[in-house]
Chain A
Amino acid sequence: MTPFLATFVPTQLVRLSSVDIAIVVFYFALVLSIGWYLKGRANTGEDFFMAGREMTAWVAGLSFLSANLGALELMGWAGSAYQYGILATHWYWIGAIPAMLFLALVMMPFYYISKTHSVPGYLKLRFGEPSRALSAVSFAFMTVLMSGVNMFAMAKVMQIVLGWDINFSIWVSSLTVAIYVTMGGLRSAIFNEVLQFFLIWAGALLIPILGLYEAGGWMNLKLQIAQRASAQYVHLWSGLGSFTTNPMGIHWTGIVFGLGAIISMGYWTTDFLVVQRILAAKDIRSAEMAPIIGAGFKMMVPFIVILPGLLGLAVLPEKLVPESVATVTGGHSYNDVLPLMLARYCGPGLLGLGVTALIAGFMSGMAGNVSAFTTVWTYDIYRPLINSKASDHHYVNMGRWTTVIGVLVSVGTAYLVMQFASIMDYVQALFSFFIAPLFGTVVLGMLWKRASGPGGFWGLLCGTLCSIGMWTWVKVDPSALRYVALSSHAKGLAQDMYQALWSFLVCVVVTVGVSLATNPMPDSELTGLVYGLTEVPHVGEVPLYEKPLFWAGVVTVVFIVLNIIFW
């Protein structure tokens, strides 16, 4: 048998019917058609890298959310819900909603009026070239690693569900993303992300609906989980008083301060992958509304991600195991729970749509990483450091080539990721390395005018090194976890929360210390970049129901009520 034919050996979890295959093929045809249609609208740098800055609040908001709705969201967190119970929901609620609202109401005006192309671009304006270079290089590094994680996760799903060879899946998906992003730039990525958002919901929503029907409703589901696992698997907060009374081995301080105040703030407000979608908004009101719309939908995502994981605990006949065990025993791992639930409920047609939803989720995450990488490489590394005098046309071509190269590097990264036992812990570690210190630098830059250029640079560098140092320390000596996470009972995710907290604090302390020891920047250079020296733009005279502040209030109330209900 030739290697190509070997990719279709029928060892899959399910067998796709002809209608399922038609749905999957139609999806690939449609995303490529959108890229083809938009290729004539990506001729200038502003079009290719910023989608012409003409997106409505809904398009920008759904794209903002969809760029994050990648492999980790769909498969990783469903697996985490099976492993840790409803605690995984914290990454959707306290680990996202406050940060999204903070981005909308506090930080977005500065990003928007500075007309920066990227978050590193803002650092250049606020702290100077060294901070931008450090941030851009670390972001580019993180982005291709994230993209590799997405690819690996998708290929794994294709292997489990369809029996496709993992290499075949990686190359098919990555080439598709490369083609449509290369042709249409950010606009193509955004359009496809919105499309993917709808397909993900259309394909994934049936699992919790049918699952709850089978389990006999939420109350019966809780009883079954209590019998098969533990009653603590369905409580968000009540088990977080101690490291030992919840499945995740984490204390509430780690969730509130590490996740809610640092990691999520860092990710949702400074990770250019998501912020880039908001920068493409057509006006300040759209730019503020987009994260609020994203927050509204983000609160609902656990219904299609966390609930299937919990349902898996109750209704799946087999016991899922960690990835490392599954590899040895040949069983199914936690990360397989979503495909297993899909196979359980979805017949011909629905199975194709469910598989398409998974592929769409993975491809939207990958496209988001690639388009963000392309912009940061072109505007924040290539133009300032390598070739600063080229034409706009040259930079657009550089963007197209970088898209292809970025995809190829991501493919290489996907093979690297295969060596790691747990996808989630690996990515959380990455967040801690770069995102938490970056949030410290950006937020100090926006809120404290005394922060100086050297202060911003050294704070960012020391925070990042601190994070890498702690991670390495625990890798070399696992017993060091009791110092980093404040308890010997802490587990991997708890370590990441505290690691982020310490690296943020180191960043802030160093930034403040160095800033006070160096000359302040003149006010004239900080206008439009810092609170107190900037006239913050307002959305104008609009009815109450069109004001971002009103909808932020609505989202906040729903967020609080949900946390109380599932306490």
Chain B
Amino acid sequence: MISIWFFIGIALAVNGALILAAGIYQLINPPAVPTVVLFHLHANVWWGALLLICGLAYCVRFAPSRQV
């Protein structure tokens, strides 16, 4: 049976990739008026990257091919 942790890895990786992509897009094309407070911190870039890394680590560690 596929491990629950593999599903969690998929969820974190996909969400992280989407958030990171959105963050990078905003970094390259910043809006004229920031839509959120603390926009200059670009939280979606580093938070998205963190989720992506964690998700990929879970996917590799709990991949169905590695299950006994």
Q: Which residues of A does B touch, CB under 8 Å?
A: 17, 19, 22-23, 26-27, 30, 34, 37, 41, 59, 191, 194-195, 198-199, 202, 206, 210, 213-214, 343-350, 352-353, 356
Contacts A346-B36, A347-B26 given; indicate if A34 touches B7 (C-beta within 8 A): yes
CA–CA, A343 to B38, complex, Å? Answer: 12
A194 touching B22, Cβ below 8 Å: no
Shortest CB distance A43–B (Å): 14
Q: Report whether over half of chain A's contact residues are helix, strand or loop; otherwise say mixed.
A: helix
Shortest CB distance B66–A (Å): 17
**Cβ of B7: which chain A residues have Cβ within 8 Å of it?**
30, 34, 191, 195
A191 touching B1, Cβ below 8 Å: no
A-B contact pairs, 9 of them (CB 8 A): A19-B18, A27-B11, A30-B7, A206-B43, A206-B47, A214-B37, A343-B36, A347-B22, A347-B39
**Cβ of B22: which chain A residues have Cβ within 8 Å of it?**
17, 19, 347-349
A210 touching B11, Cβ below 8 Å: no
B44 touching A349, Cβ below 8 Å: yes
Q: Which of B24-54 contact A (CB under 8 A)?
A: 25-26, 35-39, 41, 43-44, 47-48, 51
**Cβ of B25: which chain A residues have Cβ within 8 Å of it?**
348
**Cβ of B35: which chain A residues have Cβ within 8 Å of it?**
347
**Cβ of A345: which chain B residues have Cβ within 8 Å of it?**
36-38, 43
Shortest CB distance A361–B (Å): 15
The answer to whether the Cβ of B21 comes within 8 Å of any Cβ in the partner chain is yes
B38 touching A41, Cβ below 8 Å: no
Contacts A191-B4, A348-B22, A349-B19 given; indicate if A30 touches B43 (C-beta within 8 A): no
Name which residue of chain A comes closest to B58, CB basis: A198
B21 touching A199, Cβ below 8 Å: no
User: How many A-B pairs fall under 8 Å by CB?
Assistant: 88
A344 touching B36, Cβ below 8 Å: yes
CA–CA, A215 to B18, complex, Å? Answer: 29
Shortest CB distance B36–A (Å): 5
Q: Report whether over half of chain B's contact residues are helix, strand or loop; otherwise say mixed.
A: helix
Which single member of A41, A202, A210 contacts B51 (CB below 8 Å)?
A202
**Cβ of A37: which chain B residues have Cβ within 8 Å of it?**
2
**Cβ of A41: which chain B residues have Cβ within 8 Å of it?**
1
**Cβ of A348: which chain B residues have Cβ within 8 Å of it?**
22-23, 25-26, 44
Shortest CB distance A440–B (Å): 36
8 nearest A-B residue pairs (beta carbon): A349-B19, A349-B22, A348-B22, A19-B22, A349-B44, A347-B36, A350-B44, A191-B4
The answer to whether the Cβ of B59 comes within 8 Å of any Cβ in the partner chain is no
Please give 18 more A-B residue pairs, beta carbons under 8 A apart, in addition to A202-B51, A344-B36.
A17-B22, A22-B18, A23-B19, A26-B11, A30-B11, A59-B4, A210-B43, A345-B38, A346-B44, A348-B26, A348-B44, A349-B19, A349-B20, A349-B21, A349-B44, A352-B19, A353-B19, A356-B15
A347 touching B44, Cβ below 8 Å: yes
The answer to whether the Cβ of B56 comes within 8 Å of any Cβ in the partner chain is no
Shortest CB distance A344–B (Å): 5
**Cβ of B19: which chain A residues have Cβ within 8 Å of it?**
19, 23, 349-350, 352-353
**Cβ of B57: which chain A residues have Cβ within 8 Å of it?**
none
CA–CA, A22 to B4, complex, Å? Answer: 22
Name which residue of chain B comes closest to A26, CB basis: B14
Name which residue of chain B comes closest to A34, CB basis: B7
B14 touching A210, Cβ below 8 Å: no
A210 touching B4, Cβ below 8 Å: no
A344 touching B37, Cβ below 8 Å: yes
CA–CA, A34 to B6, complex, Å? Answer: 11
CA–CA, A346 to B22, complex, Å? Answer: 12
CA–CA, A19 to B19, complex, Å? Answer: 8
The answer to whether the Cβ of B10 comes within 8 Å of any Cβ in the partner chain is yes
CA–CA, A30 to B18, complex, Å? Answer: 15
CA–CA, A35 to B50, complex, Å? Answer: 28
**Cβ of A202: which chain B residues have Cβ within 8 Å of it?**
12, 15, 51
Name which residue of chain A comes closest to B25, CB basis: A348
**Cβ of A23: which chain B residues have Cβ within 8 Å of it?**
15, 18-19
Shortest CB distance B46–A (Å): 10
**Cβ of B44: which chain A residues have Cβ within 8 Å of it?**
346-350
**Cβ of B15: which chain A residues have Cβ within 8 Å of it?**
23, 26, 199, 202, 353, 356
